Amino acid sequence: MAKRIDVKDLDIYYGSFRAVRSVSMTIQPRAVTALIGPSGCGKSTYLRALNRMHELIPSARVEGKVVMDDQDLYAPGMDPVDVRKHVGMVFQRPNPFPTMSIYDNVAAGLRLNNKRLRKSETDDVVEESLRGANLWEEVKDRLRKPGSGLSGGQQQRLCIARAIAVRPDVLLMDEPCSALDPISTHAVEDLMAQLKENYTIVIVTHNMQQAARVSNYTGFFNIAGTGQPGELVEIDETPTIFSTPTHTATEEYISGRFG
Amino acid sequence: MSNTGQGAATARRVRKRPADQAFRGITTGAGVLILVVLAGVAAFLLIEAWPSFVAPAEEIPGEGGLVLYIWPLVFGTLLASVLALVIAAPLAVLIALFITHYAPRKLAQFLGYVVDLLAAVPSIIYGLWGFTVLAPATRGPAEWLHEYLGFIPLFAGPPSTTGRTMLTTALVLAVMILPIVTAVIREAFLQTPKLHEEASLALGATRLEMIRMAVLPFGSSSIISGSMLGLGRALGETMAVAIVLSASGGVTFNLISSGNPATIAANIALEFPESSGVAIDTLIASGLVLFAITLVVNMIARAVINRRTDFSGAS
């Protein structure tokens, strides 16, 4: 299930503007990789390039390679729709479909990928996914109620359940806790620790304590100045990055002496 | 301490500011005015139509009584309008989707302007176009429909030689209401939250699936309200129908023959100049029925929109 991603010399452009320069990294399976760095350093752009979501902006393109288990995600003929089926995503703000019930939200991706599913099978996957997202006990009595009636933290876990229901290989999380209170944040972080048993997780976060708490590897992105492309300064095991980083920029950023 | 603070705040709120009071009065007046106008129109229709309610059946035009006079008109009105909506609504959804989700931005903007422009064309122009261009052009297709689909009562025929049929009328009405319906739906589709579009795409939805999961559910209440707006316009449309439709009375679903029921609005416009006495009261009574129909249509639309507010995209 969990897969390794090798990124090689990845440049990301918006039109003629290079937003991210020459990123190479290996994302390990069954581990959490955190991406930290100042705002505008391209870490979210980079994250969205991993499942080709950045292509929704018409002028966006990349150069370089993103290889997942010997398959280049940017190979000609590779359909971004297929890429996204294997690389799921959780967003900054919880975004359950407001017109759907809790049940239908979780089943939404399932119904796309496997149209002829029996009711009992769907039931099973929905329960399994909600349990996987630590939400089952809280919502099992109101599966037919709208997902928008849940609290922010519950909604975000619902979105995680929705993402894992299609059994992706990789789960990308773009600041998944930035709109949540500390208790909900804690719940989602616990969940990440469980999910990494089965998934490759990449998380973008502004919260360095969070990166230190949840991740096995941490990558630091930085930007030389406005108008310059963002780049990966270094990536290493999380304890190393937070204790003895190689670059002074990393040390300054994580110790708060930045800029 | 907090108590006195609260007390002071209440006292401040209670103090009346003349400008606030005056503006409040103006807005209240404007709000009441709309109710007064509505009530006034209803009262006018009721009072003016009253003589036709009590008049003996022989005095009503057609000499068959009020119900017999108005019923075919109601039927014709509903048939033409609903048919127009059935043609226009799906088309409007498709156009709105193209403009909001498929067309390149420049083209989308241009098309948006064109749609708005079409909405501003006076209905008499559509009527003239329907009479001179569309009606003759429908004769061929009508014959084809009659020959191959004649077993469907809608196309039983025999095809009209002028083309001024219910089908042509519905087509003209569909073209007329298309811009307004499209405009309402387009606005709703444009406001589909990016969050929800991205949510479905990130699950591996194709663009069509994304539209089904995120865009259409979000816009569904606008599709209904836009359609009802269009239906309202089609129900009340007078000049275009008066010019295009060659009415001969009678109740029939046959869309392509020369025997067509008239519509209420067109019938009033055509008959009014030559009517007097009870005939005028009868026409006003038919107007009252039209008023009631549009009211009911709007109420149904409201009810449909409110039915699933829990699941609406607004929350």
Nearest-5° angle of CA A119, CA B204, CA A88? Answer: 95
- Indicate whether this complex's ipTM tops 0.95: no
Q: Mean of the pLDDT values across residues A32-52?
A: 90
* CB B240 within 8 Å of CB B176: yes
Which structural domain, as residue segments, surrounds residue A186? 5-94+170-254
Q: How far apart are CA A24 and CA A118, in angstroms?
A: 43
Burial label for A82, CB within 10 Å (0-12, 13-18, 19+), is middle
Most confident of A252-256, B85-89, B265-269: B85-89
Q: How far is CA B217 from the centre of its chain?
A: 22
How many angstroms away from the CA of B148 is the closest CA of chain A?
A: 37
* CB B191 within 8 Å of CB B217: no
Q: Which residues from A are below 8 Å from B198, CB to CB?
A: 53, 56, 89, 91, 95
- From the list A53, A97, A162, the residue facing B217 with the nearest CB is A97
Q: Which residues from A are below 8 Å from B307, CB to CB?
A: none
How many angstroms away from the CA of A252 is the closest CA of chain B?
A: 34
How many angstroms away from the CA of A243 is the closest CA of chain B?
A: 35
User: What pLDDT is recorded for position B4?
Assistant: 47
Q: How far apart are CA A83 and CA A50, in angstroms?
A: 9
- From the list B198, B205, B218, the residue facing A99 with the nearest CB is B218
Beta-carbon contacts of residue A171 (< 8 Å; ≥ 6 apart): A87, A88, A89, A90, A160, A163, A164, A195, A199, A200, A201, A202
Residue A149 to residue B193, Cβ atoms within 8 A: no
Q: How far apart are CA A205 and CA A137, in angstroms?
A: 28
Q: Mean of the pLDDT values across residues B40-58?
A: 86
User: Which is nearest to B170 in space by CA: B80, B82, B41, B267?
Assistant: B80
Q: How far apart are CA A105 and CA A144, in angstroms?
A: 10
Residue B303 pLDDT > 90: no
Q: How far apart are CA B79 and CA B251, in angstroms?
A: 10
Residue B7 pLDDT > 60: no
Instruction: Please list the residues that pair with A15 across neighbouring strands.
Output: none
Provide the number of structural domains found in chain B.
1
- Which CATH number do you get for residue A80? 3.40.50.300
φ/ψ of residue B204, rounded to 5: 95, 30
State chain B's mean pLDDT as an integer: 85
Q: Could you tell me which chain A residue has the CA closest to the CA of B214?
A: A97
Provide the number of structural domains found in chain A.
1
Residue A108 to residue B203, Cβ atoms within 8 A: yes
> What does the block give as tokens for A240?
């190393």
* CB B185 within 8 Å of CB B225: no
User: What pLDDT is recorded for position A224?
Assistant: 80
Q: Which residues from A are below 8 Å from B201, CB to CB?
A: 53, 56, 84
Burial label for B4, CB within 10 Å (0-12, 13-18, 19+), is exposed
Residue A85 to residue B311, Cβ atoms within 8 A: no
Q: Which residues from B are below 8 Å from A91, CB to CB?
A: 195, 198-199, 202
Which structural domain, as residue segments, surrounds residue B119? 55-311
Q: How far apart are CA A53 and CA A60, in angstroms?
A: 10
Q: Which residues from B are below 8 Å from A146, CB to CB?
A: 310-311, 315
Of residues B198 and A1, the one with the higher pLDDT is B198
The reply to whether A71 falls in a domain is yes
The reply to whether A139 falls in a domain is no
The reply to whether A103 falls in a domain is no
Residue B6 pLDDT > 60: no
User: What pLDDT is recorded for position B22?
Assistant: 92
Which range (A207-216, B247-256, B263-272) has the least confidence? B247-256
Residue A98 to residue B313, Cβ atoms within 8 A: yes
User: Which is nearest to A115 in space by CA: B212, B83, B242, B273?
Assistant: B212
Residue B2 pLDDT > 70: no
How many angstroms away from the CA of A246 is the closest CA of chain B?
A: 35
Residue A108 to residue B213, Cβ atoms within 8 A: yes
Of residues B126 and B256, the one with the higher pLDDT is B126
Q: Which residues from B are below 8 Å from A109, CB to CB?
A: 203-205
- Which CATH number do you get for residue B111? 1.10.3720.10
pTM (2 decimals)? 0.81
Q: Which residues from B are below 8 Å from A162, CB to CB?
A: 199, 203
What tens digit of pLDDT does each residue of A79-121 get? 888 899 899 999 988 899 888 899 999 998 888 866 677 888 8
Q: How far apart are CA A194 and CA A164, in angstroms?
A: 12
Q: Mean of the pLDDT values across residues B198-208?
A: 90
- From the list A56, A85, A91, the residue facing B195 with the nearest CB is A91
Q: How far apart are CA B300 and CA B306, in angstroms?
A: 10
Residue B28 pLDDT > 90: yes
Residue A57 pLDDT > 80: yes
Residue B202 to residue A51, Cβ atoms within 8 A: yes
The reply to whether B26 falls in a domain is no
Burial label for B249, CB within 10 Å (0-12, 13-18, 19+), is middle
Q: Mean of the pLDDT values across residues A125-131?
A: 89
User: What pLDDT is recorded for position B1?
Assistant: 41
Q: Which residues from A are below 8 Å from B196, CB to CB?
A: 95, 97-98
How many angstroms away from the CA of B228 is the closest CA of chain A?
A: 21
Q: Mean of the pLDDT values across residues A111-138?
A: 84
What tens digit of pLDDT does each residue of A181-229 get? 888 888 889 888 888 888 999 999 988 889 999 999 999 999 887 778 8
User: Which is nearest to A135 in space by CA: A207, A194, A199?
Assistant: A194
End-to-end CA distance of chain A: 41
Q: How far apart are CA B171 and CA B67, in angstroms?
A: 28
